[in-house]
Structure 1
């Protein structure tokens, strides 16, 4: 006699127990007879309903013996345990990437197919993953549920919080294979890598200038529009870029964090230090195309050019 004598007439699956077959039959019929009295969600099996109810009560009875994390569902705990073992049994047949969960692999596959079935009802943006859509929705609601216990900053995503915490700890786990520079965030490393490749994919449609980062292009565009949205609360000066404002604020505070290793002179801005260092090295990289004179600073060259303009 078969170990699984109870078979589904719809799909042919067989089971050891009749009760398991009955539970399975609801997946063939689409029937979800178990309803949550709190939010109205429905489920195929009563056990799924009971697990779901814990999302309302906050109950997390399943604990990880390795790190102490707790979960509402046993299945969540089992998935979590793979993060400690490093097990990633689900592989992408296209690029070979591997994943802890099958659902993560299926979501990943959409990056190859270009499928984006999850749409935002507010702005119409579409996403490959439900989780990405949920994160996106917080940009409309302004919800930032993840708080830094050190400084109180809040973030829409937990990953952003974890990256932010490194600004307090000084942790920089992402290293450049070319020059050895290390960074707190992987995205910063990826941007940095472009400085080695020379890649500048973001172009200004007005003057043709190209930039490594899109944010730099957007800042540059303000030089054409004259937009200066960043204002100093002390003197009212306004700037096109936030970095310019932050540098300017140091002139009020008297802060000069950039020091010359040769003579000890200190400067508020790194650019000032770099210009100063040329007085020691004798470097004059800015040349006049009219008479050939060379200068350490671009500003001096520009002043010199006026002597040729009459």
Structure 2
């Protein structure tokens, strides 16, 4: 082993290299990674890191939450989890003041201010501020849908989409309107519904100034200006601005008339035609009375 060099009192016990400070020595030791996993071959600089890693294979989760009994393989994961219960958000943005329970979330957030998008798609050159967004995006190209419903076998790109889908089977509607008591499977649906009561129309057309309570309604409206008809009929080639309009049109080809009149047994392919028809009965009733 090489001797100590003057001014560099910290030396590596594995290779004998000398360093001027302990931090530089620690960085150097990491390059050796003398602790290897017998199962997968991964190597680590510190034995405690190897011990943590081994729990990936053993499934051991010795760190348990006393609030909800969730368990974790590493103490640091439990510490982060506990912030869900305590509400602690120790990592704050110096630009806008937003705070986060995990440092990595702050790192991602800072890219909102910097505009940094370091993760690029190798197929279409889209770039993203975090790696997980790139991973999800790549599934567009690969067709991968890794999350499967155990009840109906529907598959999803994102786990949250599967979680939302499960409410179809359970019938659970946990989001309730405080005004009328209507309940919804998703918070976004409740948020849209509340505008029925408030009259709020936050989505405005930049061309004619029309306002809408839902973004989808604005998107459909914009097709009046652009002339876009993205829903084509595969039988005759007619195209429509809304999927519902295409669905109504298909009744012409199938000769289905799913909208019956409850007064005279006439039936119609389009609901609006039934509505117009019922006015005939309403007018007759007024005349007779």
Q: Same fold (TM over 0.5)?
A: yes
Is 2:200 the counterpart of 1:225?
A: yes
Q: CA deviation at 1:209?
A: 5.6
Note if contact 1:203-1:217 (Cα within 8 Å) is conserved in structure 2: yes
Alignment of 1:106-121 (within 5 A): 106-111=79-84, 113-121=85-93
Is 2:65 the counterpart of 1:90?
A: no
For residues 202 and 305 of structure 1, the distance between their equivalents in structure 2, rounded to whole angstroms, comes to 36
- Runs of 5+ in structure 1 lacking a partner? 1-33, 35-45
2:162 pairs with one of 189, 204, 215? 189
Give the direction of change, closer, same or farther, for the CA distance of 1:129–1:264 in structure 2 (3 Å limit): same
For residues 166 and 246 of structure 1, the distance between their equivalents in structure 2, rounded to whole angstroms, comes to 27
For residues 33 and 238 of structure 2, the distance between their equivalents in structure 1, rounded to whole angstroms, comes to 57
For residues 50 and 103 of structure 1, the distance between their equivalents in structure 2, rounded to whole angstroms, comes to 25
Q: CA deviation at 1:153?
A: 2.2
For residues 242 and 155 of structure 1, the distance between their equivalents in structure 2, rounded to whole angstroms, comes to 25
For residues 245 and 67 of structure 1, the distance between their equivalents in structure 2, rounded to whole angstroms, comes to 51
Q: Matched residue of 2:203: which SS?
A: coil
Give the direction of change, closer, same or farther, for the CA distance of 1:285–1:306 in structure 2 (3 Å limit): closer
Q: CA deviation at 1:103?
A: 0.3
- Runs of 5+ in structure 2 lacking a partner? 1-9, 11-20
Q: CA deviation at 1:128?
A: 3.4
Counterpart for residue 241 of structure 1: 215
Counterpart for residue 7 of structure 2: none
Is 2:284 the counterpart of 1:284?
A: no
Note if contact 2:232-2:246 (Cα within 8 Å) is conserved in structure 1: no
For residues 195 and 218 of structure 2, the distance between their equivalents in structure 1, rounded to whole angstroms, comes to 13
Note if contact 2:233-2:250 (Cα within 8 Å) is conserved in structure 1: no
Counterpart for residue 173 of structure 1: 146
Q: Deviations over 1:98-123 (max 9, x none)?
A: 43422012222333x33414253555
Q: Matched residue of 2:161: which SS?
A: helix
Alignment of 1:101-140 (within 5 A): 101-111=74-84, 113-121=85-93, 124-140=97-113
Note if contact 2:121-2:127 (Cα within 8 Å) is conserved in structure 1: yes
Q: CA deviation at 1:169?
A: 0.7
Note if contact 1:119-1:133 (Cα within 8 Å) is conserved in structure 2: yes
Q: CA deviation at 1:164?
A: 1.3
Q: Matched residue of 2:88: which SS?
A: coil
Give TM-score scaled by structure 2 length: 0.60
Choose 291-300 or 245-254, whichever is displaced more: 245-254
Q: CA deviation at 1:231?
A: 6.2
Counterpart for residue 147 of structure 1: 120
Note if contact 1:79-1:100 (Cα within 8 Å) is conserved in structure 2: no
Give TM-score scaled by structure 1 length: 0.57
For residues 163 and 60 of structure 1, the distance between their equivalents in structure 2, rounded to whole angstroms, comes to 32
Give the direction of change, closer, same or farther, for the CA distance of 1:110–1:85 in structure 2 (3 Å limit): same
Give the direction of change, closer, same or farther, for the CA distance of 1:74–1:300 in structure 2 (3 Å limit): farther
Note if contact 1:258-1:273 (Cα within 8 Å) is conserved in structure 2: yes
For residues 77 and 249 of structure 1, the distance between their equivalents in structure 2, rounded to whole angstroms, comes to 57
1:163 pairs with one of 121, 127, 136? 136
Counterpart for residue 300 of structure 1: 273
Q: CA deviation at 1:181?
A: 0.3
Q: Deviations over 1:45-93 (max 9, x none)?
A: x555545699xxxx9776999999999x657974895596364443424
